Structure 1
């Protein structure tokens, strides 16, 4: 079973759980930017949790299924069209052989996830089928004319995952939750108060490496340089200009700027769907 790429859209890459365990070699985990949407897509078609999917930024993807297949689209309100027929939000569909499947541009959200039963079986690199855009490690970006193999369908039928039409962007008026630290002592009390009270705007310079925000500067209490140290997805790093950067899935292994807070996993998934111009507020996670 194969899928032929007819049009890749603005940015389509392969993503799975990521390549854990290689930080010592300078290789970050990568993986899907919106982890919950990718996991939900695999669950809906009955795949194993580590199956690879296509992560489509702003839609535009068009492919042809060369054999009958089962597919689903999650993550945004983009429409999955099969031979001209539109599927519902996160509706699992049966795709006949030879059918063309398209992903429209979403009205809300940024990244959609196309899963097919059996997963996309491209050769793994360092144990993962994720494309890391920072390092270039992993399978290349699909281009028009590429043929992607589909793996063997797992035993049983469709999955038992529950479709979710969540907003794909932070709900209006609801802040993203963070855990404060680990370098809050590098910032003034005013900076911490500003982080939790001010509104920030997503910059057009954002990508899967980092979500760049603009807003009131977060002032430091120290002028010294911080030695590079390990960072994680969701870390909010603050460079000297005081404008925060939220690390996303393709973040580097280490960073040299202090981290004022870290997004909760759910908030990090919301960050994956934030378009340039979106407004962001933060609050301390309960507990």
Structure 2
């Protein structure tokens, strides 16, 4: 077991999701920043799909019941073990009774905590991920939770530290492919002009964008669109004209037109973009 002593704004159990359930109306969910999540598992010697903890902004405190090997990646929340600062993206050895505390990250949104053996809660539809849109999977963590840890894998951690690029706090640049409904807009190319700002209306479902400068996205086709499938990274445009970039817990179908889709390699960066951060979209 590992004991949750304190939770910040939100902490959920995540793995790499539950693909294959679209026909039942269930999306994949999973870690919002997949690269950071995979790295945390690799650092502690877990297979990449083992369940860990996704932490919004920081504020999580964990206490080891016995010796545990852990790692923290993603948004660089300052970490301490019994008050002593420890490195980000490093292998941490917690003796029994020792406490790992995450402060508030100065950049990025989501940190990841992996424990050697993985968080061993019961899976739902083949995954231990929390889907915040549907409510499927283990509930968000609360103070006092005791999380079961699975048996340690046979592989051993191969590195003690993984160099990571600094989280971007300046203007974030991402790439997107136009379509499938770019012909529903007066000027779909306006998506690529000027800057957008990440709205405060941002969560695991999607990141809403406000126009910082440049022309708005105005529809030329005003009738309703029949409900159609929505992919991860879809940029859907509701009547307000504020695009929403769909993230891990996005709905699997929708009735608003999708003007473009963010390339897969840039979705993790959107998941780490903070409200108020400037964002530019380039044509892929």
Aligned to 2:191: 195
Shift of 1:169: 3.2
Question: Is 2:89 the partner of 1:90?
Answer: yes
| 3-state DSSP of counterpart to 1:204 | strand
CA distance in 1, matches of 2:160, 2:234: 29
Runs of 4+ with >4 A deviation = none
> Does the aligned pair in 2 maintain the 1:40–1:161 contact within 8 Å?
no
SS in 1 for 2:201: coil
1:215-246 residue CA offsets vs partner (Å, 9 max, x unmatched):
15211121111111111111000011211001
Of 176, 179, 195, which residue of structure 2 is paired with 1:178? 176
TM-score (norm 1): 0.94
CA distance in 2: counterparts of 1:150 and 1:237, whole angstroms: 39
Measured against aligned partners, the alpha-carbon deviations of 1:35-86 in whole angstroms (never above 9, x if no partner) come to 1110111111110121001000010000101010111100012122112222
Cα shift at 1:260: 0.8
Q: Which residue of 199, 204, 209 corresponds with 1:208? A: 204
Partner of 1:44: 43
C-alpha spacing 1:261/1:160, structure 2 compared with 1 (3 Å): farther
Alpha-carbon shift at residue 173 of structure 1 (Å): 4.8
Q: Is 2:103 aligned against 1:108?
A: no
Q: Secondary structure at the match of 1:211?
A: strand
What RMSD in Å do the two structures reach over aligned CA positions? Answer: 1.4
- Structure-2 change in CA distance of 1:161 and 1:191 (3 Å): farther
Length-normalised TM-score, structure 2? 0.95
Q: Secondary structure at the match of 1:218?
A: coil
Q: Is the 8 A contact 1:75 1:112 kept in 2?
A: yes
**Residues 176-207 of structure 1: CA deviation (Å, up to 9, x unaligned):** 1112111111112x331x21112111111111
How far did 1:159 drift? 3.9
Q: How far, CA to CA, are the matches of 1:24 and 1:160 in structure 2?
A: 41
Distance 1:19 1:173 in 2: 32
253-262 or 74-83: bigger deviation? 74-83
Contact 1:43 1:161 in 2 (8 A): no
Whole-angstrom distance in 1 between the partners of 2:20 and 2:160: 28
Q: Over residues 111-154 of structure 1, what are the superposed CA-to-partner deviations in whole Å (9 max), with x where a residue is unaligned?
A: 00000111100110111000000010000111111100011110
Contact 1:109 1:167 (8 Å CA) reproduced: no
Q: 1:267 matched to which residue of 2?
A: 266
Residues 137-152 of structure 1 mapped to structure 2, 5 A cutoff: 137-152=136-151
Extract unaligned runs of 5+ from structure 1: none
* SS of the residue 1:98 aligns to: coil
Asked if the contact 2:192–2:280 (Cα under 8 Å) also holds between the matched residues in 1, the reply is: yes
Distance 2:245 2:24 in 1: 23
